[in-house]
Chain A
Amino acid sequence: MTVETILFYVFGILAVVSALGMVLNTRNTVASAMSLVVTMVSLGAIYLLLEAYLVAVIQIMVYGGAIVVLFLFVVMLLNLSTDEFPPGRQRLIKFAFVIAGVVILAQVLIALERDPLLAAQPAAVPNGFGGYRQVAASLYTDYVLLVEMASLLLLAAIVGALILAKRKID
């Protein structure tokens, strides 16, 4: 086993366990959010092992850093106590998620068995693959229309949020 394989299993198990911890822990919302951070960072480490450096850094910076901090901000402001969720609903939520997880796992296993290419040796990555230069070059040449559309969408969302907030202040 190479170092990469060992690291993959370490971070893979960490990602799965913390993801389960996030979903199954309905009692402590902040602990759930922190499990989500561990999941995001482990996913970032797996991207690193796949030599997708920019995606890995953005995964950690945007998802692990910024977005979950905003989740935490809201959760801390709401200050949910442990008895906010009735136990019956908790059990139902857990049951639903376990069922969904089992179904998805079964699908993945079936897909792996049907298509052995998925488990085969990957092709060698081209030089400079996954770096910021390659990503930027393809974003601003091949996919420039999509980038502009996405930025327009975000602008519309910002303006919408401003209008909603301002109506409340006025």
Chain B
Amino acid sequence: MPVEAIVKVLFMFAVMVIGLAPIITWVERKQSAVMQDRIGANRADLAGITLIGLLHPAADVIKLITKEDVVPAGANRVMHMLSPVIAAVPALIAFAVIPFGGVYQFGDTTLNLVGADIDWGLLYIFAIGSIATYGTVIAGWSSNNNWSMLGGLRASAQMISYEVTMGLTVVGIFMVFQTLRLSDMALAQDSSFRLLGFLAPYLGNDGGVIGWLIEHVRIPGWGLVYQPLGFLMFLTAIMAENKRPPFDIPEGESEIIAGYFLEYSGMRFGLFYMSEFIEIIVIAALTATIFLGGWAVPWFSTDDIIGGISSLFGLGFATGLCILIHFLTFMLKVVFMIWLQMLLRWSLPRFRYDQVMSLCWKILLPLSIANIFVTGLVLLWVKG
């Protein structure tokens, strides 16, 4: 059992962190270049081969490793060294509870494609997210620089505020799916419901066009469909947690230079940078799992896929192929969410500090509480 869990965690780690994270640094450059009508990174080459700029992540890493690691005079050395690690570790261990596939049966053995299938998966993400705050706050304090200090203070205020709101924005989704286990949430979204189902008692299944429409116009039962407002608010709150533009108040390049990581150089700076990018992937995977159905293929449930393929090729092959299809679906959704975050980052102007705070406390918080009440009323009405 531990071996299986370790293999799954390592697989997730290899795909998400080692595979995806360097590529999205390239995607960010290229996407911003396309959006600003530039060519983008294309100069790093290996014997003349540039691979449309794909070598830039490798060049970046070599540059950051060989750079001098400066610790400013008067800085608290231990804290200054520790804080990039405190910032990076929570982002890395979040993948342990995110399912990248469902539960499959191979004869007697059951394969559950999630590193740690714990009952309080979403709470685990929130708990480690709250620890990540220290990375930025301590980085700001330990640098012995006023700009860094301001950045650290801003980070602590912003992240605490948005953590509270983020927790409340997903309460609606807990109520809909009746669980906090992420694999159960994805499983609950592996279905579709009749869009016109409410007409069935009045019109009945008359065998005609209307009956066919009632039966066949289906939409996938994703969290996004049940909780559209919850999705928007959760995405806003969790993107604010990541501190990238338009919520880059702790960094504030035009105001406080680089904020909390102003005094960092070399690979320690790179660690802050990488943890932001890994957080983008965590956000994408988490939003995809909670609101976009996770590994579930829209309109085709697991039974549909396995049933359809096994009639042609046999059950074992069908299950294997189904795992592959589900994993690719999950990755497609993750890549879509990453693209959406990049799009928002490069299109929206940054907020002012007071705007970030009033967005959190005066708009998102009341709206999310209203969302909980409305969800509760609707659930009471539907389930009786």
Q: Which one, A69, A131, A132, contacts B137 given CB within 8 A?
A: A69
CB distance from B145 to the nearest CB of A (A): 13
What are the interface flags for B123-143 relative to A under an 8 Å C-beta threshold, 1 for contact and 0 otherwise? 110111111011001101110
> Given A34-B79, A60-B131, A64-B130, is A70 in contact with B138 using a C-beta cutoff of 8 Å?
no
Contacts of A53 in B (CB 8 A): 118-120
Partner of A34, one of B126, B130, B138: B138
Interface size class of B (residues with CB under 8 A): 20 to 34
Set of chain A residues within 8 Å of B123, measured between Cβ atoms: 54, 57, 61, 132
Residue A100 at the chain B interface, CB threshold 8 Å: no
The minimal Cβ–Cβ distance linking A38 to chain B, given in whole angstroms, is: 10
Query: What's the nearest-Cβ distance from chain B to residue A99, in Å?
Result: 29
Q: Is the CB of A30 within 8 A of B79?
A: yes
B153 interface residue (CB < 8 Å to A): yes
Residues of B within 8 A of A31 (CB): 76, 79
CB contacts (< 8 Å) of A69 on chain B: these are: 130, 133-134, 137, 156, 159-160
**Which residues of chain A from 53 to 77 have any CB-CB distance to chain B below 8 Å in the complex?**
53-54, 57, 60-61, 64-66, 69-70, 72-73, 76-77
Contacts of B127 in A (CB 8 A): 44, 57, 60-61, 64-65
Interface size class of A (residues with CB under 8 A): 20 to 34
Which B residues from 245 to 303 make CB contacts under 8 A with A?
none
B180 at the interface (CB under 8 A from A): yes
**Cα separation A160 to B258 with both chains bound (whole Å):** 37
**For B168, what are the chain A residues with a Cβ–Cβ distance below 8 Å?**
none
CA distance A41 to B140 in the complex (A): 22
A150–B178 CA distance with the chains assembled, in angstroms? 26
Chain A residues, Cβ within 8 Å of B133 = 65, 69
Instruction: Check if A76 sits within 8 Å of B149, measured CB to CB.
Output: yes
Residue B157 lies at the interface, judged by CB distance under 8 Å to chain A = yes
Cβ contact within 8 Å between A76 and B141:
yes
Residue of B nearest to A41 (CB): B131
Q: Does B152 contact A (CB under 8 A)?
A: yes
Chain A interface, >50% SS class = helix
Partner of B156 from A28, A64, A72 at Cβ < 8 Å = A72
Q: How far is the CB of B202 from chain A (nearest CB, A)?
A: 38
Q: Which residue of B lies closest to A30 (CB)?
A: B141
Report whether B120 and A54 are in contact in the complex, using a CB–CB cutoff of 8 Å: yes
Known: A31-B79, A76-B149, A76-B152. A57 touches B163 (CB 8 A): no
Chain A: minimal CB distance from B161 (Å)? 10
Chain A residue contacts of B137, Cβ below 8 A: 69, 72-73, 76
Most buried by B among A41, A54, A65: A65
Check if A43 is an interface residue, CB within 8 A of chain B: no
- Asked whether, in the complex, the Cβ of B180 is within 8 Å of the Cβ of A132, the reply is yes
- How many Å from the CB of B154 to the closest CB on chain A? 10
What are 27 pairs between A and B in contact, CB < 8 Å? A30-B76, A30-B138, A31-B79, A53-B118, A53-B119, A53-B120, A57-B120, A57-B124, A60-B127, A61-B123, A64-B130, A64-B131, A65-B129, A65-B130, A66-B130, A69-B133, A69-B134, A69-B159, A70-B156, A72-B156, A76-B137, A76-B140, A76-B141, A76-B149, A76-B152, A77-B153, A132-B120
A-to-B contact residues, CB < 8 Å: 28, 30-31, 34, 37, 41, 44, 53-54, 57, 60-61, 64-66, 69-70, 72-73, 76-77, 131-132
The 5 closest A-B pairs by CB, nearest first: A65-B130, A60-B127, A57-B123, A61-B127, A57-B127
